[in-house]
Amino acid sequence: MEKMNMSVNETKDNKEKIDLTKTPVNLNQLGLKPKKKINWFKAILLTLLFIVIAGSAFYGVRLYLFSKAIGIKITPQDILEPIKKDPVLKKDSTGKYTSVLLVGIDTRDASSGLKNTDSMIIATYNYDTKNITMISVPRDMYVKVPNDTWYTKVNALYAIGENKKKGNGLNFLKGALENITGIPIQYYAMIDLQGFRSVIDIMGGITVNVQNSFTDYCYPAEKDSKSVHFCDLINGMAETITFNQGEQKMNGATALKYSRSRHSSDNGEGSDFYRARRQQNVLVAIRNKILSSDTLLNPKKVLDIIQALQDNLQLSEFTSEDLQAAINLGLSQKESKGGMYSFVTDPNFGNKKIFTTQGFNIGNLYVIGPRAGLDNYKDVHAAITLIMADPQFYSEDSVIRVYDTGIGYPKALAQTQALQAKYPYSNILFMGTLFKDKTGTVVYSHTANANTRTVAVLGEYLKSTSVDKPSYVKTNLNGEDVSILLGAAPKAQTDTKK
């Protein structure tokens, strides 16, 4: 009998002997199934991929339902293949601008029927300069009802349009605002103020630059407010709210109060016009917060914002390409550091030359309208065209004074009149002769690092020789922002060599 080695086992039928000390060993020869080695990296990767796909499907469904509710046209194919090459937004006929009408409405008391619009802002993006210009139309603008013969305040047009045809309110308002401003509007969006509050809270609040301190003793009180008293200016209860100048962190409720306050007697903040400016400040803060990485890269915040907006936002038809293009544009504008500039079409607009509160035979109703006459917006269109071309210049709104310092009175007056014609909606006045023996043209600001665009534009136009305050001027003159000194032309240097 053959002696067996201890390292040798027999198969079940004892027909074949295998030396296990040799490698590799085929375990199938032993009648055993080999134990597979686990690729942990691949397993983890597949698990993560499954989670991402499942999460994306959930997000896609939520996005689809949300988009359908508010007016974004997104198909299932858009969710499966969401990336399109170089999507673009609609533009005006020049190909230079895209404009969006942003409307705020208060529908907290649904039983009272349709509400008037609380804010109306046209935001326009300039593809050449990367600037965004916001123009607010005050609620008290007195306008002709489209396709009719009577007039009303502009904030009533949405409700009128809805009563004429359900679902046509925003389009009805859009047409009227295009007529007033001369700005072709490609898109519109309307948000309920409740959604406005919720979005701000979801983002963790916003930082707003409060331009003027003010106190409002008559702000409509919330039902659970503890700081209330009776106010003669409104029906029901009121509370006192106060805001101090400077940057402030605001939650949704505070930002809403800041945006809607209209009964303060401090710094003009009780007017509808200052209110419109505050609303623009809040929009800038929201835009900055949304484009911050902690919002865009937080899926929970994004989903919560979607949920908050689903019942509180209404859009014109907006495709998936529009949505991608808008996001790309927002990020591009932030990276390029394009400016954001704000204007309100109030009586101060256009150097007080365009709108007025006087001369309308409508009883005691407070309204504003064009100085050229109701429904005559030619001057409005002219001013807005100039503003859109150089919003920084007009947003500085500098007080400009011109002096003869050597060019001679008649020539200095003629130069001033030419400036006034070139910039008809700027505050430019001729102040007479200051000196008779100075040379060169000087354009300078009385405040360091302020009015920079105004000095640059006027200096280029006048071919100024200096932008610094000359030593021979010892005062702030008449307290203007920018001074223009028109001296005689410097004498040509002659060759004195013999």
* pLDDT tens digits for range 127-144: 999 999 999 999 999 999
pTM exceeds cut of 0.85? no
pLDDT in tens, 246-268: 999 999 999 999 998 888 888 88
Q: How confident is the model at residue 466 (pLDDT cuts 50, 70, 90)?
A: very high
Determine contact, residues 123/355, Cβ cutoff 8 Å.
no
Higher model confidence: residue 475 or residue 272?
475
Q: Residue 391: is its pLDDT beyond 90?
A: yes
Q: Residue 55: is its pLDDT beyond 60?
A: no
What whole-number distance in Å separates Cα of residue 68 and Cα of residue 166?
18
Q: Residue 364: is its pLDDT beyond 50?
A: yes
Determine contact, residues 418/432, Cβ cutoff 8 Å.
no
Determine contact, residues 312/195, Cβ cutoff 8 Å.
yes
Q: What pLDDT score does 95 carry?
A: 95
Q: Residue 66: is its pLDDT beyond 50?
A: no
Higher model confidence: residue 154 or residue 20?
154
Higher model confidence: residue 332 or residue 480?
480
φ/ψ of 419, rounded to 5, equals -65, -45
Region 356-363 average pLDDT: 84
Determine contact, residues 419/461, Cβ cutoff 8 Å.
yes
Determine contact, residues 64/45, Cβ cutoff 8 Å.
no
φ/ψ of 239, rounded to 5, equals -130, 160
For CA atoms 47, 51, 52, 54, give the dihedral sign.
positive
Q: Residue 88: is its pLDDT beyond 70?
A: yes
Short-list 321, 290, 69, 71, CA closest to 188: 71
Q: What pLDDT score does 497 carry?
A: 47
What whole-number distance in Å separates Cα of residue 282 and Cα of residue 296?
19
Short-list 371, 379, 369, 380, CA closest to 152: 369
Matching residue, tokens 């698990």 = 47
φ/ψ of 327, rounded to 5, equals -65, -45
What whole-number distance in Å separates Cα of residue 276 and Cα of residue 49?
48
Matching residue, tokens 């859109």 = 388
Q: What pLDDT score does 142 carry?
A: 95
Q: For residue 344, which amino acid is it?
A: V
What rounded mean pLDDT belongs to the chain? 80
What whole-number distance in Å separates Cα of residue 103 and Cα of residue 313?
10
Q: What pLDDT score does 431 carry?
A: 98
Q: Residue 484: is its pLDDT beyond 80?
A: yes
Q: Which of 51-65, 208-222, 245-259 has the lowest mean pLDDT?
A: 51-65
What whole-number distance in Å separates Cα of residue 103 and Cα of residue 188?
8
Q: What pLDDT score does 2 carry?
A: 44
How many Cα atoms within 13 Å fall on the side-chain side of residue 84?
A: 18
pLDDT in tens, 415-460: 999 999 999 999 999 999 999 999 999 999 999 999 999 999 999 9
The angle formed by the CA atoms of residues 478, 481 and 483, to the nearest 5 degrees, is 65
Q: Which of 112-121, 169-178, 270-279, 449-458 has the lowest mean pLDDT?
A: 112-121
What whole-number distance in Å separates Cα of residue 191 and Cα of residue 185?
17
Region 342-346 average pLDDT: 94
Q: What pLDDT score does 21 carry?
A: 47
Q: For residue 405, which amino acid is it?
A: T
Q: In the structure, how many helices (H) and strands (E) does the chain have? A: 15, 23
